[in-house]
Amino acid sequence: MRRRAFIGVIYGAAAALPFAAAAQQPGEVWRIGHVTVATPEISRIFAQALEQGLTDLGYVRNRNIVLLHRNPAPQPDKIEEVIISLAPEVDLLVVWGSIAGIAAKRLASAKPIVFLTIGFPVEIGLVQSLAHPGRNITGIAAEAATETNEKRLQILKEIVPDLNRVAVLRAVDDQYVGFAMASLELAASKLGVNLLPVDIQSPGDLELAFASMKKSAAEALIVPGAALVFTLNRQIADLALAAHMPSCHMFREAVVAGGLVSLAPDRLAMTRSAAAQIDKIIKGTSPADIPVEQPTRLELCINLKTARLLNLTIPPTLLARADEVIE
């Protein structure tokens, strides 16, 4: 009998029972479920990166792996529907983002799970610890240190030295956002910044959210990473520009779309690391014994075109630190 493998990235709590890994046997095909929550274009990029990472490790599509890609809408119920339908068809699940990770852990506890770009995976209850994730899940964290959000606020202060009132666009259905907000509050108290949280639950909330920022006299915007806001990078960037509001983001894709600045892990590099974790699971290592990896560095991306449109001068010291400058 052919054993099917389900490969995916998921965020969630530990499985109810210990997970026992079984190594791939000659002739077996592992079926990999890959759940992204992004725009179709970015979803394709991530899918291609994962497949290339596995190819580099010697896997061949339709010979010893099959990749099943899904890209649900960012709402929790839509993500859960995809995981429920996909789980019986695969042997390993790969999932992107906190909502998908938590849902996968709850709904696919018998499958090995690899997650990507989840912030604070211990705090949200996805893994027991970074060194010993436990049960059936491991992955690549987007960040696990509260200092990262402090650095994002510091970058905004470097660009706008007299900055005082910073709006925080919170996708309230995403488990990561609450912990990100807590770390931002700690940073704000050190930097003398007042945070103005503005919540959204759907794309239709954006216009009202920016109207609320204007009413509160927000001077800049910080956007914690979340599935919903990641699918709205272009709209958020356009609205921030229209409001003459410098913005700092968790991922570079938002800056490519027109946001001002990001401090972010390299997601394509993270995908290659996820492929290596998948390889270990296929060869018989339990996810519980594969430590959660963290980015070794964060990349600073600055959009100079947006800076010019906002009549901002980026400090030379900040430009010198930038990994990518968009002209």
pLDDT at 27: 65
Higher pLDDT among residues 23 and 127, named by residue: 127
pLDDT at 143: 79
Alpha carbon distance 147, 184 (integer Å)? 9
Residue 315 has pLDDT above 80, yes or no: yes
Alpha carbon distance 166, 246 (integer Å)? 10
pLDDT at 310: 97
Residue 69 has pLDDT above 70, yes or no: yes
Q: Quick one: which of 73, 119, 82 has its CA closest to 104?
A: 82
- CA dihedral (283, 285, 287, 289) positive or negative: negative
pLDDT at 160: 96
Within 10 A of 81 (CB to CB), how many other CB atoms are there?
16
Instruction: Name 3's Cβ contacts closer than 8 Å, sequence gap at least 6.
Output: 22, 24, 25, 28, 29, 30, 91
Residue 249 has pLDDT above 70, yes or no: yes
Q: What is the pLDDT of residues 14-47, one digit of tens each?
A: 333 445 556 666 568 999 999 999 989 999 999 9
β-strand partners of 116 = 96, 140
Residue 31 parent element (H or E): strand 30-35
Q: Which percentage of the chain shows pLDDT scores above 90?
A: 79
Q: Which DSSP string do the residues of 274-290 spell out, in sequence order?
A: HHHHHHHHHTT--GGGS
**Stated pTM of the model:** 0.87
Section 232-244 average pLDDT: 96
Residue-range domains of the chain with CATH: 30-142+266-289 (3.40.50.2300), 147-264+298-326 (3.40.50.2300)
pLDDT at 135: 85
Instruction: Give the confidence band of 103 by pLDDT, cuts at 50, 70, 90.
Output: very high
Q: Which percentage of the chain shows pLDDT scores above 70?
A: 91
Q: Where are the alpha helices (DSSP H) in 57-130?
A: 76-86, 98-107
Q: What is the pLDDT of residues 189-225, one digit of tens each?
A: 999 999 999 999 999 999 999 999 999 999 999 999 8
Q: Quick one: which of 323, 301, 296 has its CA closest to 144?
A: 296
Which phi and psi angles does 72 have, rounded to 5°? Answer: -75, 165
Alpha carbon distance 252, 270 (integer Å)? 14
pLDDT at 303: 98
pLDDT at 147: 83
Section 96-115 average pLDDT: 94
Higher pLDDT among residues 105 and 1, named by residue: 105
pLDDT at 20: 57
What burial class does residue 293 get, using C-beta atoms within 10 Å of its C-beta: 0-12 exposed, 13-18 middle, 19+ buried? middle
- The structure tokens listed for 50 are 């994962």
pLDDT at 260: 98
Alpha carbon distance 176, 162 (integer Å)? 29
Q: What is the pLDDT of residues 147-200, one digit of tens each?
A: 888 899 999 999 999 999 999 999 999 999 998 999 999 999 999 999 999 999
Q: Quick one: which of 35, 25, 101, 120 has its CA closest to 70?
A: 35
Helices (H) and strands (E) in the chain, counts: 12, 12
Q: What is the pLDDT of residues 284-312, one digit of tens each?
A: 999 999 999 988 889 999 999 999 999 99
pLDDT at 17: 40
Alpha carbon distance 139, 117 (integer Å)? 8
pLDDT at 144: 64
Residue 4 has pLDDT above 50, yes or no: no
Alpha carbon distance 47, 74 (integer Å)? 17
Within 10 A of 147 (CB to CB), how many other CB atoms are there?
12
